[in-house]
Amino acid sequence: MGLELRKISKKFGEVVALSDVSIRIEKGEYLVILGPTGAGKTTMLRVIAGLEELDSGDILLDDKIVTKADPEERGVVYLSQTYSLFPHMNVLENVEFGPKVRDWNPANRERIVSEMLNLVRLQDRVDAFPHELSGGMKQRNALARALSTNVRTLLLDEPLRALDARLRLSLRTELRRMSKDLGITSLHVTHDQEEAITIADRIVILRKGKIVQIGTPAEIYDNPVSPFVQHFVGEANFFCGTIQEKNEEGSLVKCDGLKVSATATDIPVGSEVCVGVKTERCHVTRGKEEGLNKLPGTLERELFLGRLSSIEISSEYGNLKAKVLAEVSATMDEGEDVTLHFDRDQAIVFPIPDEGLEKELEVE
Amino acid sequence: MPRIELKNVSKRFGKIVAVNTTNLTIEDGEYLSIVGPSGCGKTTLVKLISGVWESTEGQILIDGKDIANVPTEDRDLGYVFQGIELFPHMTVWENTTYAPRVKDWPDEELVKTGEDSLRLVNLLEMRETFPGQLSGGAQQKTGIARALATKAKLIILDEPLSALDARVRIDLRYELRRLVKRLGLTAIHVTHDQEEALSVADRTVVMKKGEIVEIGTPRQLYEKPRHIFTANFVGEGNFLEGSVKRMPGKWCQIELRNEQFLFVPPMDVTEGDALVLFTRPENLKFCKDFSTNSVPGEVREVQFMGSFLRYEVMLATDDPVLVDLPIQHERVYAGDRVMVEFNPIDTLVFERPPEGLREVLRLE
């Protein structure tokens, strides 16, 4: 096991940052911790790095308890959102710093430093100082510096946040590649669900200090455990109602004049539930159609996103959203009659959340 | 009614040219976004319009009137910027009605405007709250309400969403467009986020190094960019170097590296011309047949992207390409040999840039 957290908790005064969090992370795994602001993501990294003390629980690195160990002894490096480079040192000197203070022999030192500079593709910029580098280069320089000390576990706190959106798209897969090439274990914190899905082996959904779900990107995306997860990782439409019938294959939920054919569920017939359907798994066609899982309405707005368009539809069942291929939305006009459809397999049944659906879906 | 014209506007800071001889017309009621990488001059451009900076050369006209000598406070515009600074000791209400109070509006009008503005951003209930108690999204909404309460017909949004979490940003960009359209405002929205720029605007301006590269509707820029920089900046794409082999009437045959060939629609070129072919990942497909418009390759990696799968394929031309396919199609795995089919209609052709393809595609 690369890293294990056993029932760790941490409070700052009255504020609960982490509550009874347990997780096992494989050696070499790329784990992404995803959640809204205030979920406890940064605290999780900082306690692993030894920068914050735990209130209770244990942290194990390579099967050894390190809960009380000094940060330097853990073989872990924490990369904060602001890249901690020495401003008066150039790219090379920043990377050499760690090996030098550890007094490694020069041949060994030179080898690892040049390896790291190649890895982050800065071998041609060794003489540049931080202020001469772009945001992305600074970030890669900081990464090379962190990695040059032979760490086995990398803690990345929103490593792409300060970069331009387009550059982020290119760099996110690079981060994963570097981590995999070196065979190190990485924990990457982000609030960006698309980033998480794209690069993670597994995603941890953290909210209010608790783990809501752990799974592969496909599991998180297609089998969310709660309306929050379904709505946070991609958007979803929700319908609340009562289960009318069900069998092994599916269920029928009656929602205020609307019948929704949904996936199978353990929840008993007669219970109040909400049914969620990802907006990316909805289809939209022209004209009004009635029928099971067909919701007629008016196309209010189209927002062009590139590959997809986000469509807003007003219907007697409320405002609905769908993300469809932009070539499909190109055939439709605002104000036109349309119908939103979805397959039974895409409609997931959840119990009504304790605090109500609206509170459940809040993202901040 | 604001119609804004920039005529040969330049701004230099010492030797640095931030904005170079720029011409731009923004129609009354238009939602215009300006996008480009860090340092492209987009923020400087709107600061010239708002009066924070004075242009070095050229004219800025609002409704035909030169505004060179009009101070910022008389330009009748609302301003929202990144990490908006609300007055911490003032409530949401006091922040929102700041401009009406300073301008000594009659009480009745002040109250009505303040209430209307807060209602529009759904914060009326929070009127007595102090900024420190608000979430990031609510603070930014207060900033928007404050700009609306000036009753200006022109609103300038300078990275209004950049400080927020990805998810909150997505929800708020919908709101922004809705508000601007409902109130019939003219909006100029600056962002580094290409998806945000496309989704909110009627037209989008792409800038690079102080100059406008291209202006168009979001759909034009994404689907039919006229410039190779735009093609790369507003979304992900595949670029293949080649040259014109021959033009047998209906199609134009392009020779790629390693004796691979593709057909594209006829165009105004001569045999031997150096070109770059461009496609979006969603416009490529796998096919089984060698006779179609395709290039062989090997799948390097398969990535789950939520609503689709992304294949990284190394083509026989030594060009890596991305192929995005719906989840339902027949699965292909890493290591598989595939034929990648190029639809001639969706394959755009650019002249090979004199500075080299890599240089043009550089994002930092």
Residue B70 has pLDDT above 90, yes or no: no
Taking only the tens place, the pLDDT of each residue in A282-307 is 999 999 999 999 999 999 999 999 99
B207 and B322 part of one domain: no
B320 and B209 within one domain = no
What was the pLDDT predicted at A72?
A: 85
Q: B278 and B178: one domain?
A: no
Angstrom CA distances, A310 to A294, A340, B32, B273, B292, stand at 18, 13, 19, 40, 33
- Range(s) of chain A covered by CATH 2.40.50.100: 235-354
The H or E element containing residue B362 is none
Which of B197, B232, B267 is the last residue in one of the domains?
A: B232
> Do residue B152 and residue B246 come from a single domain?
no
Q: In this complex, do B199 and A304 lie within 8 Å of one another by their Cβ atoms?
A: yes
Task: Give pLDDT, residue A80.
Answer: 83
Count chain A–chain B contacts defined by CB atoms under 8 A. Answer: 113
The CA distance from B192 to the nearest CA of chain A, in Å, is 6
Contacts of range A108-117, beta carbons closer than 8 Å, 24 or more positions apart: A112/A148, A112/A150, A113/A148, A116/A144, A116/A145, A116/A147, A116/A148, A117/A91, A117/A92, A117/A144
The domain boundary, picked from B232, B265, B298, lies at B232
Claim to verify: residue B114 and residue B218 sit in the same structural domain: yes
pLDDT of residue A309: 95
The DSSP call for residue A208 is T
pLDDT at residue B225 greater than cutoff 80: yes
Asked if B210 and B87 sit in the same domain, the reply is yes
CATH class as words, domain A3-222: alpha beta
Closest C-alpha among A323, B320, B342 to residue B311: B320
How much is the pLDDT for B22? Answer: 95
Is some CB atom of chain B closer than 8 A to the CB atom of A136? Answer: yes
**CATH number, domain at B105?**
3.40.50.300
Q: What total of structural domains would you count in chain B?
A: 2
Closest CA to B83 of B35, B8, B139: B139
Residues A98-128 have pLDDT tens digits of: 888 888 888 888 888 998 898 888 999 999 9
Mean pLDDT confidence for A62-89: 89
Contact list in B for residue A169 (CB cut-off 8 A) is 236
Q: What is the pLDDT of residue B83?
A: 67
Model pLDDT for residues A26-64, shown as the tens digit of each residue:
999 999 999 998 899 999 999 999 999 999 999 999 999
Q: What pLDDT, in 10s, does the model give residues B28-38?
A: 999 999 999 98
Largest CA distance in chain A: 76
Same domain, B98 and B197: yes
What percent of chain B has a predicted confidence (pLDDT) above 90? 69
Residue A362 contacts B where some CB pair is shorter than 8 Å: no
Average pLDDT, integer, range A198-210: 96
Q: What is the least distance, in Å, from the CA of A288 to any CA of chain B?
A: 25
Query: What value does the mean pLDDT of chain B take?
Result: 92
DSSP H helices in A183-254:
193-199, 217-222, 227-232
Confidence of residue B73 (pLDDT cuts 50, 70, 90): confident
Residue B223 φ then ψ, to 5°: -90, -35
Q: Tell whether B137 and B227 lie within a shared domain.
A: yes
Name which of A60-69, A162-171, B301-310 the model is least confident about.
A162-171
Looking at B191, B215, B232, the residue that finishes a domain is: B232
Contact A19, A207 (CB under 8 A): no
Same domain for B192 and B103, yes or no, is yes
The complex's ipTM? 0.88
CATH code of domain A235-354: 2.40.50.100
Mutation target to probe the B interface, by most B beta carbons within 10 A, among A32, A133, A303, A328 is A303
pLDDT of the residue at B1: 62
More confident residue, A210 or B133: A210
- Of residues A205 and B78, the one with the higher pLDDT is A205
pLDDT digits (tens, 9 = 90+) for A179-193: 998 899 999 999 999
Residue A331 forms contact with B (CB below 8 Å)? no
- The whole domain housing B313 covers 236-361
At A146, the pLDDT band (50, 70, 90 cuts) reads confident
Residue range(s) in chain A whose domain bears CATH number 3.40.50.300: 3-222
> What is the rounded CA–CA span in Å between residue B313 and residue B221?
25
Same domain, B173 and B261: no
Residues in chain A: 364
Is B244 in the same domain as B212? no
